[in-house]
């Protein structure tokens, strides 16, 4: 009887492992295919051979400029920002055990956006200052929300409600800044707020690339502890998890990635919101879905950007397309949560 139980547990674990590997591999292949499409497609369609030659440093007439200067930075911005939004959103949702507890809904992205718009409209600052201010704005928003929601005891529902209120306040600040801004600064601010890969340049991508490459291994290392946090404070502590330290590391890492992604591409709507639930539905439970969520984020951003560029007569920023995809899910989720009475 005991041997049968052990064999059943081992078989279940192996099935989950196989599913995780298969789903992650498929998501990686989809992301790679979308990357290739981003480099090949445009006003002129270049074959794979020409794209590969450009990436290898060869000079190809026409393709070198289009692929190397315009399409490659755009694709890399989508990859690293998509991964940052996807992985960061999943971490917040899992750690706080609520699908609404993601950076878009609870005001973290709005904090980064308000700081960035202030730099664009008021300070007329460059990209470096905007990136730094965006990170500081995101971290400051997290601290304010966490401090106000703590009270006598920490409450996830209180955190979400306070976060929604902070988001509304910061959105009002952004609208005010747009109202008083000079006419020649407004297009840059509006383009940034819509969430767009337009105008991405290799030199402006470096901070985001470095942060994602540094903090992704840290997030993956703490992935198992993240799943334990989902069981609850007492259960995680009994399993030997330092909950305060783990939560601090995960929050700081996620916010830094999300804030820099926001500073680079603007607040691409709903990627952080959708990536985690999609990854969890595909992979299931029993494994950390940080990597799959990041790959889903990449796929959402790149696919939405391709749709925005080529599916309509007019071209739309990537944030418009992801907003169209995410809004119905948010409405559905709010109705479901309201019926359950979780808030």
The verdict on residue 305 lying in a domain is yes
- Distance, in Å, from the CA atom of 273 to the CA atom of 88, rounded to the nearest integer, reads 10
Q: How do the pLDDT tens digits run along the chain, 343 residues long?
A: 555 555 555 556 677 788 888 999 999 999 999 999 999 988 888 888 888 888 888 888 878 888 888 899 999 999 999 999 999 999 988 887 777 777 777 778 888 888 888 888 888 777 778 878 888 888 888 888 878 877 666 667 777 788 888 888 998 999 898 888 787 778 778 877 888 888 788 888 888 899 999 999 999 888 777 777 766 666 667 767 777 778 778 888 888 898 889 888 888 888 988 888 888 888 877 677 899 999 999 999 999 999 998 888 888 889 889 988 887 877 777 777 666 655 5
Q: Tell me if 302 sits within 8 A of 269, measured CB to CB.
A: no
Give me the CATH number covering residue 165.
1.10.3470.10
The verdict on residue 307 lying in a domain is yes
What is the domain count for the chain? Answer: 1
What tokens does 174 get? 């952004």
- Distance, in Å, from the CA atom of 79 to the CA atom of 33, rounded to the nearest integer, reads 12
Host domain of residue 208: 35-340
The verdict on residue 24 lying in a domain is no
The verdict on residue 20 lying in a domain is no
The verdict on residue 77 lying in a domain is yes
Q: Tell me if 26 sits within 8 A of 66, measured CB to CB.
A: no
Q: Tell me if 283 sits within 8 A of 289, measured CB to CB.
A: yes
The verdict on residue 16 lying in a domain is no
The verdict on residue 155 lying in a domain is yes
The verdict on residue 60 lying in a domain is yes
């Amino acid at each position: 009887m005991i041997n049968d139980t052990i064999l059943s547990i081992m078989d279940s674990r192996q099935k989950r492992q196989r599913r995780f590997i298969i789903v992650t591999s498929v998501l990686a292949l989809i992301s790679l295919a979308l990357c290739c499409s981003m480099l090949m497609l445009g006003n002129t369609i270049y074959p794979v051979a020409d794209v590969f030659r450009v990436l290898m440093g060869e000079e190809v007439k026409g393709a070198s400029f289009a692929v190397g200067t315009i399409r490659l930075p755009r694709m890399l911005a989508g990859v690293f920002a998509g991964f940052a939004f996807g992985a960061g959103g999943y971490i917040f949702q899992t750690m706080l055990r609520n699908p609404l507890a993601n950076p878009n809904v609870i005001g973290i992205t709005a904090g980064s956006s308000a700081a960035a718009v202030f730099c664009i409209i008021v300070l007329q600052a460059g990209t470096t200052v905007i990136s730094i201010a965006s990170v500081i704005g995101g971290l400051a928003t997290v601290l304010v929300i966490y401090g106000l929601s703590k009270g006598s005891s920490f409450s996830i529902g209180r955190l979400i409600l306070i976060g929604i209120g902070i988001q509304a306040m910061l959105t009002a600040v952004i609208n005010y800044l747009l109202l008083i801004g000079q006419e020649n600064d407004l297009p840059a601010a509006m383009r940034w707020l819509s969430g767009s890969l337009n105008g991405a340049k290799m030199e402006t991508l470096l901070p985001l690339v470095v942060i994602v490459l540094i903090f992704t291994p840290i997030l993956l290392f703490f992935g198992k502890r993240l799943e334990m946090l989902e069981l609850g404070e007492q259960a995680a502590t009994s399993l030997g998890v330092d909950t305060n330290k783990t939560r601090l590391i995960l929050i700081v890492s996620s916010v830094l990635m999300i804030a820099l992604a926001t500073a680079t591409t603007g607040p691409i709507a709903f990627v952080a919101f959708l990536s985690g639930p999609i990854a969890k539905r595909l992979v299931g439970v029993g494994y950390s879905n940080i990597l799959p969520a990041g790959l889903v984020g990449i796929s959402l951003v790149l696919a939405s950007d391709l749709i925005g560029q080529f599916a309509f007569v007019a071209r739309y920023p990537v944030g418009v397309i992801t907003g169209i995809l995410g809004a119905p899910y948010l409405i559905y989720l709010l109705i479901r949560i309201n019926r359950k009475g979780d808030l």
